């Protein structure tokens, strides 16, 4: 989880405002301690865990890290109980598996706040990005779809669930940075108290659809009854978040901080942040070039650069994506992507 912690620490720094930070599900405390050591804007840090051994280790680690006792403290107990006792401007929730059962607890930490930040990790990727409907409906009240852009779909389902709980607390969400990496999905989100913003977030929910037969894909409030490309039965996922996954200025600030820090994953983080910038404003799915070639029975697969070049020269936006090294994001329709792939071979 080193890259996840580094990305999140950059996000804490990019927020810039003074923060009362609670690292719930802290385990050894490493995550919260890194946030506080690396970012001057962490005013207070509370490391929270239900496990006595974790809290004892977190205490040792606070001492070893030389954080001042006035700045850093621990809280032993269940997040569901402590949510009524602690306030936070920034809350980290990184449980084992799904964050869903803890989202209501999370928003209670913001009860006294007009604006706050929620950093969420989901490691139940098999549920969010899997083909099984029941487990995802149970935890997220949404249908997943296991296809070539499933990681983006899974991330958007997680964000939908967060937007729904936020709305119940009269808050609207704005994802600042969101990504998929190895075995987890992650998003750092700004939440603001306002009925209008809550309504706005609800209006950003909808569906994506995908046709296995012809590769057509799209999005909208509701999925179509049949594929608009070939008329076959199309699969769909949702409801999910159709809004932006990232904020451009926020990513820029994270990138600037990354350039100043000597993280082991500095290069990879820099590349991810640059790719994420190009994902802003794009449709909520991507195109796997290998899958398209397979569908078209093309023997050789063109380079991504050649396909991107073809699409750009036809006037479309087209870029690589952090979600997959063999996929692109573009505003071009499927027919244009197919032509670009065929022309680039
Ligand atoms: C995945 S680990 C956290 C890892 C940590 N965030 C990191 O980056 O190293 C999950 C932790 O959550 C704690 N935990 C599980 N259920 C909890 C609950 N209901 N309230 C508070 N802590 C809980 C566990 O004891 C465990 O230490
Ligand atoms: Zn079709």
Residue where one domain finishes, among candidates 279, 311, 330: 279
Report how far apart, in Å, the C-alpha atoms of 171 and of each of 126, 166, 190 are: 29, 5, 10
CATH number reported for the structural domain that contains residue 325 in this entry:
3.30.56.70
Q: Are residues 109 and 187 in the same domain?
A: yes
133-140 and 150-168 helices cross at what angle (nearest 10)?
30
Say how far apart CA 83 and CA 60 lie, in whole Å.
24
Residues 143-153, mean pLDDT to the nearest whole number: 97
* Percent of the chain residues topping a pLDDT of 70: 100
Which atom of ligand 1 is the closest one to the Cα of 123? 1
Domain termination residue (choose one: 229, 262, 279): 279
Answer yes or no: do 174 and 316 share one domain: no
pLDDT (mean) for 58-77: 94
Using pLDDT thresholds of 50, 70 and 90, give the confidence band for residue 31. very high
Nearest alpha carbon, ligand 1 atom 8: 31
Read off the pLDDT band of 276 (50, 70, 90): very high
Terminal-to-terminal C-alpha distance of the chain: 38
Kindly report the protein residue whose alpha carbon is nearest to atom 16 of ligand 1. 50
Domain that holds residue 316: 287-344
- In terms of domains, do 291 and 271 share one? no
Residues 94, 121 contacting (CB under 8 angstroms): yes
Indicate whether 93 and 10 sit together in one domain: yes
Residue 297 and residue 272 share a domain: no
Question: Which ligand has the nearest atom to the CA of 31?
Answer: 1
Mean local confidence (pLDDT), 76-83 = 98
The CATH number of whichever domain residue 44 belongs to comes to 3.40.50.150
Pocket test for ligand 1, best of 50, 61, 90, 182 (most atoms within 8 A of CB): 50
Strand partners, 181: 184
Angle at 183 between CA 319 and CA 171, to 5 degrees: 75
CA–centroid distance, residue 234 to ligand 2 (Å):
7
Q: Is residue 180 domain-shared with residue 272, that is, in the same domain?
A: yes
What is the C-alpha to C-alpha distance for residues 339 and 140, in angstroms, rounded to an integer? 37
Of 232, 260, 279, the last residue of a domain is: 279
- Answer whether residue 42 shows pLDDT above 90: yes
User: Which pLDDT tens digit goes with each residue over 48-61?
Assistant: 999 999 999 999 99
- What is the Å distance from ligand 2's center to 214 Cα? 4
Closest ligand to C-alpha of residue 213 is: 2
- Say how far apart CA 110 and CA 107 lie, in whole Å: 5
Whether cis (ω within 30° of 0) applies to the bond prior to 239 is: yes
Q: Tell me the per-residue pLDDT of 105-142, one tens digit each, with 9 for 90 and over.
A: 999 999 999 999 999 999 999 999 988 999 999 999 99
Q: Are residues 63 and 200 in the same domain?
A: yes
Pocket of ligand 1 (CB under 6 A): 1, 5, 24-28, 30-31, 48-51, 54, 78-79, 94-96
Specify whether 17 is located in the same domain as 33. yes
Q: Give, in order, the Cα–Cα distances in Å from 177 to each of 8, 9, 188, 190, 276.
A: 9, 12, 6, 10, 8
What's the 111 CA to ligand 2 centre distance in angstroms? 47
Residue-by-residue DSSP string for 233-245: PPEEEEEEE-S-S
Are residues 215 and 301 located together in one domain of the fold? Answer: no
Is 90 exceeded by the pLDDT of residue 19?
A: yes
Q: Which ligand places an atom closest to the C-alpha of 234?
A: 2
Strands 115-122 and 171-181 come out as unpaired
Residue 54 CA: nearest ligand 1 atom is 27
Non-local (6+) Cβ contacts of 211 within 8 A are 217, 227, 229, 230, 232, 234, 235
Give yes or no for a contact between 215 and 249, defined as CB atoms under 8 angstroms apart: no
Does the pLDDT of residue 68 top 90, yes or no? no
Q: Are residues 72 and 107 in the same domain?
A: yes
- What CA–CA distance (Å, rounded) separates 120 from 128? 14
Question: How many structural domains does the chain have?
Answer: 2
| Mutate-to-test residue for ligand 1 from 22, 24, 27, 74, highest number of ligand atoms within 8 A of CB | 27
Taking 90 as the threshold, does the pLDDT of residue 167 lie above it?
A: yes
Which pLDDT value is given to residue 69? 80
Residues 196, 48: one domain? Answer: yes
- Beta strands at 72-76 and 90-93: parallel, antiparallel or unpaired: unpaired
Same domain, residue pair 65 and 180: yes
């Amino acid at each position: 989880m080193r890259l996840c912690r580094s990305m999140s620490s950059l996000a804490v720094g990019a927020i810039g405002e003074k923060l009362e930070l609670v690292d719930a599900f802290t385990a050894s405390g490493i995550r919260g301690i890194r946030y506080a050591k690396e970012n001057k804007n962490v005013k207070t840090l509370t490391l929270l865990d239900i496990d006595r051994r974790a809290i004892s280790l977190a205490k040792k680690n606070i001492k070893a890290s030389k954080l001042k006792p006035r700045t850093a403290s621990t809280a032993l107990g269940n997040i569901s109980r402590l949510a009524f006792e602690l306030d936070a401007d920034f809350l980290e929730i990184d449980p084992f598996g799904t964050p869903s059962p803890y989202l209501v607890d999370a928003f209670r930490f913001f009860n006294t706040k007009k604006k706050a930040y929620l950093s969420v990790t989901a490691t139940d990727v098999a549920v969010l990005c899997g083909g099984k409907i029941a487990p995802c409906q149970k935890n997220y009240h949404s249908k997943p779809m296991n296809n070539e852009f499933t990681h983006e779909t899974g991330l958007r389902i997680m964000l939908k669930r967060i937007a729904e709980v936020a709305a119940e607390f009269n808050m609207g969400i704005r994802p600042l940075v969101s990504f998929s990496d190895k075995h987890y999905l992650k998003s750092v989100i700004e939440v603001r108290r306002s009925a209008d913003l809550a309504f706005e977030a609800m209006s950003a929910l909808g569906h994506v659809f995908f046709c296995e037969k012809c590769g057509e894909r799209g999005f909208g409030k509701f999925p179509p009854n049949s594929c608009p490309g070939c008329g076959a039965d199309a699969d769909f996922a949702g409801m999910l978040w159709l809004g932006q996954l990232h904020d451009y200025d926020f990513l820029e600030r994270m990138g600037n901080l990354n350039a100043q820090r000597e993280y082991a994953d500095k290069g990879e983080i820099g590349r991810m942040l640059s790719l994420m910038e190009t994902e802003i404003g794009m449709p909520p799915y991507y195109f796997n070039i290998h899958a398209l070639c397979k569908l078209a029975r093309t023997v050789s697969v063109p380079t991504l650069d050649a396909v991107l070049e073809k699409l750009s020269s036809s006037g479309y936006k087209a870029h690589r994506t952090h979600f997959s090294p063999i996929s692109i994001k573009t505003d071009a329709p499927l027919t244009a992507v197919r032509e670009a792939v065929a022309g680039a071979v």
